[in-house]
Every structure is written in structure tokens, then in C-alpha cells.
Amino acid sequence: MREAETREHWVVRLNRRNRTAFFALMIPVLGTHFVFIQAGPLQWILLGLQFLLYPQLVYWRARRSADPLRAEMQNLLVDDVLLGIWVASWGFPLWIAFILFISTCLNLMIFHGRRGLSKVVLAMLAGVLIVALASGLRFRPDTSPLTTGLCMLALALYLFMFADDAYTRGVALRQSRKQLGIRVEEITSLQAQLQEQASRDPLTGLFNRRHLDNLLAQELAECREMGAELALVMIDIDRFKAINDNFGHLAGDKMIRAVAALLLRHAQEADLACRFGGEEFLLIMPRTPPSVVLQRSEALRKEFEAMRVTFEGHDMRTTLSFGIAGFPDHGSEPTPLLQMADKALYVAKLQGRNCIVDAGRLAETADA
């Protein structure tokens, strides 16, 4: 039983409700018509079987079929054949034939579109043909005023039910789409957050080394296209090992965060601040003249030299060394530029730390 319930198709469930409701609406219509035409006991029995028992039997068949949707489409065609038989056997009462035809068209056209109309016509004609071959056709189109009124009422109620169902499904679909849109936005936001986290250094919040290559390549491409300059400022914390040795690695982490905060305070909108690795940092300054790069680097050096970083009651003070390389003078690709900035930083360390060395003066420094 549980397996059958699991396989139940929504179309099977929907058509069971529609078929049961419509056939129930038709019982008083046909009952008054049977009185009008003075139908015999057999016709009353067949009426009960067709309009009360039949909807449950075809639902049971479709629900337990290996292909419930296909079985239900077959059930709809069987509906049309049987209703064609009823209409022909009653002599084609005008209002009853009309309401049965319209209702079956609605059922099939929902699933087959315009093709459903031709299927209804062919299926009902098949039912009519069966009656014609068995007993011949006769025409009694009249219905009593009561039956006619009940036909109108039954058709109206059935159309109202269809309209209400369409409205309910439309609202549910809009809500589903809205929820789907919210989900997509959440997933997009989460993906952006994950991508951002993957590109950031967890200790400082600066861009990490892995993300640096893409950033630098993009910035160089833009500056090359615009004919603009770009500077790399490589920064190293002086005597960082002594901080770790004297105060511990947590103190070293705090010093690294202090440098990162300093870079973020001084970074302009176009700048990109990265943690290059360990106690080294890189500040990318696109479209910045060399003289401005030197001024800003000097401001960073002086401010950090005056800073005191407190850790567990201890004041820690140190300095920064700077190595500067620029595009296009010192390289046009990321790797050569980084190498030149690293060489300049190395010279700054040799010159006693707490200073700034531009790659353009490396030759002068070597001669000195």
C-alpha cells in the first residue's frame, strides 16, 4: 500500500477529484432526465454504476498501474467513449450532450492542448458508433426545464471549480517561484561569500597570495590598456622573529593584524592590499605616480614606527621595510614585477631596515 501511495501521480489525484465531483453534479441532472423520459430500472442501475462506482474504479486502476500517467490518459479516453454511449442511447438530449462534451474537452485539453479536442470528438463518436451498430440511433433532444436548469447549474459549478483550481495552482506556482528566487539569491550570496572567503586571508581579512596573481594580472591588463602606471609596494615587519620569540605567536598574530589594519586605513579605493605570506604584505597601487607612491609609503612607515601594539600588558614596537617596483619601468608581467619588489625589499633590509627602497635605485645601491 505504501509503495502504491508513493507512486501516485498528481494528475491521477487531480482527475479523481474532478471526475468524482463532476459525476456527482451530473447525478441530479440525469436523475431528473430519467424521470422525464421514464427510464427503466436497468438504466437507473447503470447510472449508479457509471457515475458513482466508475470514478473510483478508474482511479484504482491508474494508481496501481506501472505507468500511472499513461493509465490516467487512457481513463480520460474511456470516459469520453462511455459518455458518447450514454448520449447516443438517450437520444442526444441537447443540454446534457453539451455539458458532457464541454467537460470532457476541458479535461483532455488541459493535458493535450488543441489535440485534446480532436481526441474528445473521436472518442465520443466511437461511443456513438457503438450504439448505432448495436441498436440504431434516435433523436430526442428535449429536456425538461428542471433538467435544463440543473445542467446550467452543474456546468457553472464545474467551471467555477476549474477556475478556483487554476487560481490556487497559479498562486502556488507564484509562491514557488518566489521561494525559488529567494533560494537562488541565497545560493548566489553564499557562493559570493565562499568565493570571498577563499580569496581572503583569515587572520587579516586582506586578499591572500592565491588571489594575488589574478588581481595583479587584471590590474596590469587595465593599466596597459589605459597607458597608466602601477606600483607594487612590498612590506615586511622588521625583527618579527624576535616578537614571536619574546611574546609568543599570538603576539605575532596581533602585530600582523595591526599592520593589516594600517594598510586598510591608508588604502585608497583603487588600491589592493594583500598578505603576501608570513609577515610580508603587498600593496598594489594602480594609476599612481611614483612620487605619490613614495609619499604614501613614507606615511605608512612613519605611522607604524610611532605605533605601539599592546599584548597582555606588554607594549610591542617595531618598524617596517618597503620595496617598490613599478609598471612599466620594472616589468610588464606579475612575476618580474614581484621579483623586483622583493629585491628592493631585500636591499631595504640590508640597509638597516625601517626604510624604503625603489627598484629603480637598486643599481645605485649596489654601487654604493
What pLDDT is recorded for position 97? 93
Read off the pLDDT band of 197 (50, 70, 90). low
Sign of the dihedral through C-alpha 59, 65, 67, 71:
negative
Give CATH 3.30.70.270 domain extents, the chain: 209-367
- Give the tens place of pLDDT for each residue, 300-334: 999 999 999 999 888 899 999 999 999 998 888 99
What pLDDT is recorded for position 3? 45
Tell me which of 196 and 68 has the higher pLDDT: 68
The letter for the amino acid at 319 is T
Tell me which of 54 and 8 has the higher pLDDT: 54
Spatial separation of the C-alpha atoms in residues 321 and 280, rounded to whole Å: 10
pLDDT at 358 over 90: yes
Q: How many residues does the chain have?
A: 368
pLDDT at 260 over 80: yes
Beta strands in the chain (DSSP E): 230-237, 272-277, 280-286, 309-311, 314-316, 320-327, 356-358
The reported pTM is 0.54
What pLDDT is recorded for position 204? 92
Spatial separation of the C-alpha atoms in residues 28 and 31, rounded to whole Å: 5
**C-alpha cell of 182?**
529567494
What value does the mean pLDDT of the chain take?
Answer: 89
* Segment 159-180 mean pLDDT: 85
Superfamily of domain 209-367, CATH level 4 = Reverse transcriptase/Diguanylate cyclase domain (3.30.70.270)
